[in-house]
Amino acid sequence: MKKRELIRKMESIVGRGNVLHSRTALLVYEYDGSLQRGLPDAVAFATSAEQISRLVRLANTAGIPFLPRGSGTNLSGGSVPAKGGIVIELSRMNRILEIDLKNQRAVAEPGVYNLTLQDALAPLGYYYAPDPASQKVATLGGNVGENSGGPLCLKYGVTTNHVLGLEVVLPDGDVVQTGGKAQEYPGYDLKGLMVGSEGTIGIVTKITVRIMRSPETVKTFLAIYDSVEDAGQTVSEIIAEGIIPATLEMMDKLVMQAVEKSVHAGYPLDAEAVLIIELDGLSDGMDRLAQRVIEICKKNRVRAVKVAATEIEREKLWTGRKGAFGAVGRLAPSYMVNDGTVPRTQLPRVLKKVAEIGEKYDLPIGNVFHAGDGNLHPLILFDERDKDQLELVRKASYEILQACVDVGGTISGEHGIGTEKLQAMWLLFGWKDLNAMWKVKRAFDPRNLCNPGKVLPEMEIEESKTAHA
Amino acid sequence: MLDHSVRGKFKEIVGEAGLKEGREIKGFSIDGLVPAVVLFPGTPEEIERIVMLALEEGLSIIPWGGGTQMGLGAPPRHVDLVVCLSRLDRILDQDHENMSFTSEAGIRLSAIQKALRHLGQGFFLPLDPPCAEEVTLGGVVAANASGPSRFRHGTPRDLILGIEVVIPEEIETGNKIRAGGKTAKNVSGYDMSKLYIGSLGTLAIVVEVTCRILPMPEDQATVMAAFPRPEAPWACTRALLESQLTPCSIELYNRETASLLPMRVRPSAEEVAWAAVGLEGFTEGVERHIVQIERLVRSQGAEKIVILRGPHEASLWKNLGRLGLQVRDKGARSIGLKVSVPLSMAQEISKAISNQGLKMNVPCYQLSHAGSGILYAHICLSEGIYGEKEQALSQMVNALREQVEDMGGSLVIEYSPAVFKQRVDVWGEVGGVFPIMERLKREFDPKDILSPGRYVGGI
């Protein structure tokens, strides 16, 4: 199919003004929140599952790739058109369709921002647990695609634990429903496979999530440390004591300095690290729990523990934490964010290793991360225009991932594989393991047109069967 | 029957004692079908070799754990081999400081709980499926089994971090594969654990599982209340769900079920419905729950309210978990249904089941995870009664299923006489996603040797 004909057909599906195809317009869609790049052939703004189904069928007929896109805040290349094709833009599918308190569910279209849903629920005394830092603009569809986490996931689990049902346009254009408002349905758990599949096995068009009653009490602390290791050790000990706070976040000096410049949240600029510890639940017993947490902090040489006295103080701390990636932009033109995750006991050891890797390559590395989950986010600062430096950054990043895998961890906790970590998948899996994932991909998308070139490294199937163990 | 030389090859893999047949395997039938042999492999590698040989010989395999869920599913098309995982019961990693636990799949859940109790300050695996004494970890995974505490802690799909399985594919270097790991968060590749959980041994044989564990709560207790009106416990459930209280489980049951529980005080004539609310957490929190829940159930007319702790509490939950077994002991041809509906519709379905039971004059033992919209109905049937009412029962189940599906839920027959499964589809329709499920089955098990026919749509 000629490009002109393709555009005309796309326009007949979504309307003339809703297709972009000029080079300048497409440039905006060649990137996401990572360093990955790829130019699409065209972008279509869809407003219904039916339109998406027709676009997908069109792409099938033309034999070209297609992929969904929300706000493009994802951090590993998941929404970057690695092999060109049609970007199906979902930001106009932004309606909350239903808030069903009786059944403790909300139903929304994929283009709804995570925070928009939270804002709709809060006055009703409810919330949706997954709270990625990018929630102001990250869409629910994107959250499903990446199986997003967030600070609250320590206690309440990630996106997959809160998605009950999905309406999906399959890679052949069929529109199907998997799961729903009830908790169990017979058959393979396709919904469980869809969440975190990075848009490679279908496009989600309607999402049913669990909503929960807001907790009675929330208590937020800022624990200030003169050493990163002490902060890391505190995290390990809190978890080892069997205490599961609602959040257990860590930020180091470099990141705090950037955050203070941008939001003035009140972080101490002379400290080496802070922990943001939040406890939630019934008020009964909360003081005693807080006391235990503070004791663990003290045992690990905390300089001071401050309690957020007002809701405004608490908001400020979180604004700083959630704005951290953005704020780091003030320190260097580019950064690469790593997402390695380790068993919690390995945290102090791996933090040390990360610092060593930074020194080895002479690259500044900031840390801001979900410490309680063992989910690191080292931010490697550099200048993308300096190609030599970019190469060093890639090497450093790969070494950090290797360090995580070496202690029984994994290469991504919540940002996904995308195109960025394709080769790092080999650190974790053998040929056979990846082959099984390819079976899933083939069952959904036998023609490999749905967001190709993501998640799974390409392999020579028959030859490798015996070659790699 | 197995060819003599093939039998010899299996013996080479599992050893003389690892192959049983004839009278030794009387208990290993599935819907009346008896395998030629039952194999007891001692390592995952032996399972790999068994699967390779079965592929070569075109023999079908049904994996077996504790055997409590073998009634689940449609009658298999054929059964050549049962592979029993009971010898794969080693604990491989107990990392309580990371809150994770890894073991082979054949270990009993009760053995895991026992090991965890002595770890650090005391831990537990927050899974409490029916027959928690007998079930194995692999069985729980294959059946996606869960119990009352799913209300707070979730199901295997929430608690399993990593998995190793053997797939029926001829790979020279072995066909054991893994997914996930031991970290709390993990998005490295597709979430393959989800696919195997609940797949009832139709895609792979689960050989190793890593799960999340939790510290033992400081305090726990159960508030049990009896009500004179069947609506009352449902009203309590709604109030609890709307409150900021955080109970661990909300179980409702009817008079029939209560009569099977070994309680010191027999149900009085006025009592028709019961609620048991499980609590765990800090002492102060548990105390506060007790006060508020007592007030709540009293406002709904409960007169008998008992706070259970220690052995009495454990006994209640254990017996609720054995309800299905008890009913089957009373009636050999009993039928067990599991219904899942949106929360607000559970009461209506419970009522519909009661009405049908009354109309047909069959005792119906009900138990609901009311906070999760899950209902179990165990219809107790003797040989004679079943024969007499078979047709009416199948109409009843079909009608119930229609009602449940209209509500956006599902109904599954968890066990029944094999002949009943010919009359009523045990799973029900799965809808437009079925072609994908078929393709998944073909990708993973192209020769259709794993549990053929037991799953949805004849998979």
Same domain, A394 and A352: yes
- Residue in A105, A174, A410 nearest the CB of B188: A410
* pLDDT, mean over chain A: 95
Is any Cβ of chain B less than 8 angstroms from the Cβ of A130? no
Residue of B nearest to A181 (CA): B342
- Residue in A289, A345, A417 nearest the CB of B189: A417
Say how many CB pairs under 8 Å bridge A and B: 271
pLDDT given at position B303: 87
- Other CB atoms within a 10 A radius of the CB of residue B100 amount to 23
Res. A462: pLDDT tops 70: no
Using a CB-CB distance cutoff of 8 angstroms, which residues of chain B are in contact with residue A176?
431-433, 436
The CATH number of the domain where A287 resides is what?
3.30.70.2190
Same domain, A104 and A157: yes
- Residue in B174, B176, B285 nearest the CB of A285: B285
The pTM of this model reads: 0.97
Q: How confident is the model at residue A468 (pLDDT cuts 50, 70, 90)?
A: very low
- Residue in B100, B123, B427 nearest the CB of A186: B427
The string of pLDDT tens digits covering residues A32-61 is 988 899 999 999 999 999 999 999 999 999
Q: In what order do the strands lie in the sheet with B374-379?
A: B304-308, B219-227, B273-281, B249-254, B364-369, B374-379, B335-340, B410-415
Using a CB-CB distance cutoff of 8 angstroms, which residues of chain A are in contact with residue B179?
433, 436-437
The DSSP bridge partners found for residue A43 are A20, A87
Res. A215: pLDDT tops 90: yes
Res. A338: pLDDT tops 60: yes
Among residues B176, B155, B152, the alpha carbon closest in space to that of B50 is found at: B176
Among residues A281, A134, A146, A143, the alpha carbon closest in space to that of A209 is found at: A143
Using a CB-CB distance cutoff of 8 angstroms, which residues of chain B are in contact with residue A184?
144, 338, 340, 374, 410, 412
pLDDT given at position B172: 83
CA distance B383 to chain A (A): 29
Is any Cβ of chain B less than 8 angstroms from the Cβ of A147? yes
Distance CA A348, CA A239 (A): 13
Selected residue with higher pLDDT from A460 and B12:
B12
Distance CA B275, CA B236 (A): 9
CB contact under 8 A, A102 and B344: yes
- Other CB atoms within a 10 A radius of the CB of residue A100 amount to 16
A325: enclosing H helix or E strand: helix A324-328
Same domain, A64 and A154: no
Residue that finishes a domain, picked among A72, A89, A106: A89
Using a CB-CB distance cutoff of 8 angstroms, which residues of chain A are in contact with residue B436?
170, 176, 188, 190, 443-444
Same domain, A184 and A246: no
Same domain, A105 and A208: yes
- Other CB atoms within a 10 A radius of the CB of residue B235 amount to 17
CA distance B50 to chain A (A): 18
The string of pLDDT tens digits covering residues A408-427 is 999 999 999 999 999 999 99
Residue of B nearest to A425 (CA): B188
Residue of A nearest to B73 (CA): A186
Is any Cβ of chain B less than 8 angstroms from the Cβ of A153? yes
Same domain, A383 and A372: yes
Same domain, A236 and A300: yes
pLDDT given at position B262: 84
CA distance B436 to chain A (A): 6
Is any Cβ of chain B less than 8 angstroms from the Cβ of A280? no
Same domain, A350 and A318: no
The CATH number of the domain where A166 resides is what?
3.30.465.10
Residue of A nearest to B174 (CA): A469
Residue of B nearest to A415 (CA): B187
CA distance B167 to chain A (A): 9
Average pLDDT of the segment spanning B341-349: 98
Q: B-contacting residues of A 227-266, CB under 8 Å?
A: 236, 239-244
CB contact under 8 A, B186 and A373: no
Q: A-contacting residues of B 8-67, CB under 8 Å?
A: none
> Helix, strand, coil: what percent of chain A each, to 5?
40, 20, 40
pLDDT given at position A469: 37
pLDDT given at position A461: 58
The CATH number of the domain where A63 resides is what?
3.30.43.10
CB contact under 8 A, B189 and A429: yes
Same domain, A240 and A306: yes
Residue that finishes a domain, picked among A311, A327, A343: A327
Give the three-state DSSP class for A314.
helix
Res. A464: pLDDT tops 90: no
CB contact under 8 A, B183 and A282: no
Average pLDDT of the segment spanning A320-343: 93
pLDDT given at position A62: 97
CB contact under 8 A, A240 and B154: no
CB contact under 8 A, B123 and A242: yes
The amino acid at B60: S
pLDDT given at position B141: 98
ipTM of model: 0.97
Token pair in block for residue B368: 């609901």
Is any Cβ of chain A less than 8 angstroms from the Cβ of B178? yes
Mention every residue, 6+ apart, whose C-beta is less than 8 A from residue B185. A149, A153, A158, A341, A370, A373, A374, A375, A413, A414
Is any Cβ of chain B less than 8 angstroms from the Cβ of A104? yes
Please state the domain count of chain A: 5
Res. B50: pLDDT tops 90: yes
Q: A-contacting residues of B 254-283, CB under 8 Å?
A: 281-283
Is any Cβ of chain A less than 8 angstroms from the Cβ of B396? no
Using a CB-CB distance cutoff of 8 angstroms, which residues of chain A are in contact with residue B191?
147, 160, 192-193, 195-197
Please give the residue range of the domain that contains residue A452.
430-467
Interface test with A, best of B187, B192, B344 (most A CBs within 10 A): B187
Res. B410: pLDDT tops 70: yes
Distance CA B276, CA B278 (A): 6
Q: B-contacting residues of A 352-381, CB under 8 Å?
A: 370, 373-375
Q: How confident is the model at residue A467 (pLDDT cuts 50, 70, 90)?
A: very low
pLDDT given at position A466: 46
- Give A291: exposed, middle or buried? Use CB within 10 Å, 0-12, 13-18, 19+: exposed
Distance CA A55, CA A49 (A): 10
Res. A465: pLDDT tops 70: no
The CATH number of the domain where A366 resides is what?
3.30.70.2740
CB contact under 8 A, A416 and B187: yes
Average pLDDT of the segment spanning B160-174: 94
- Residue in A188, A240, A428 nearest the CB of B440: A188
The amino acid at B168: P
CA distance B179 to chain A (A): 7
Distance CA B157, CA B143 (A): 11
Same domain, A83 and A108: no
The string of pLDDT tens digits covering residues B296-335 is 999 999 989 999 999 999 999 999 999 999 999 999 999 9
Same domain, A180 and A190: yes
Mention every residue, 6+ apart, whose C-beta is less than 8 A from residue A368. A249, A250, A251, A252, A255, A321, A324, A325, A377, A379
Is any Cβ of chain A less than 8 angstroms from the Cβ of B444? yes
A24: enclosing H helix or E strand: helix A23-27
Distance CA A305, CA A262 (A): 23
CA distance A76 to chain B (A): 11
**What domains can you pick out in chain B, each with its CATH number?**
4-86 (3.30.43.10), 94-214 (3.30.465.10), 219-311 (3.30.70.3450), 323-432 (3.30.70.2740)
B209: enclosing H helix or E strand: strand B205-212
Res. A369: pLDDT tops 50: yes
The string of pLDDT tens digits covering residues A279-318 is 999 999 999 999 999 999 999 999 999 999 999 999 999 9
Same domain, A256 and A337: no
The string of pLDDT tens digits covering residues B324-340 is 999 999 999 999 999 99
Residue of B nearest to A456 (CA): B189
Residue of B nearest to A428 (CA): B188
CA distance A432 to chain B (A): 6
Using a CB-CB distance cutoff of 8 angstroms, which residues of chain B are in contact with residue A282?
244-246, 281, 284-285, 288
Is any Cβ of chain B less than 8 angstroms from the Cβ of A188? yes
Residue that finishes a domain, picked among A213, A246, A265: A213
CB contact under 8 A, B177 and A439: no
The string of pLDDT tens digits covering residues A222-261 is 999 999 989 999 999 998 888 999 999 999 999 999 999 9
CA distance B139 to chain A (A): 16
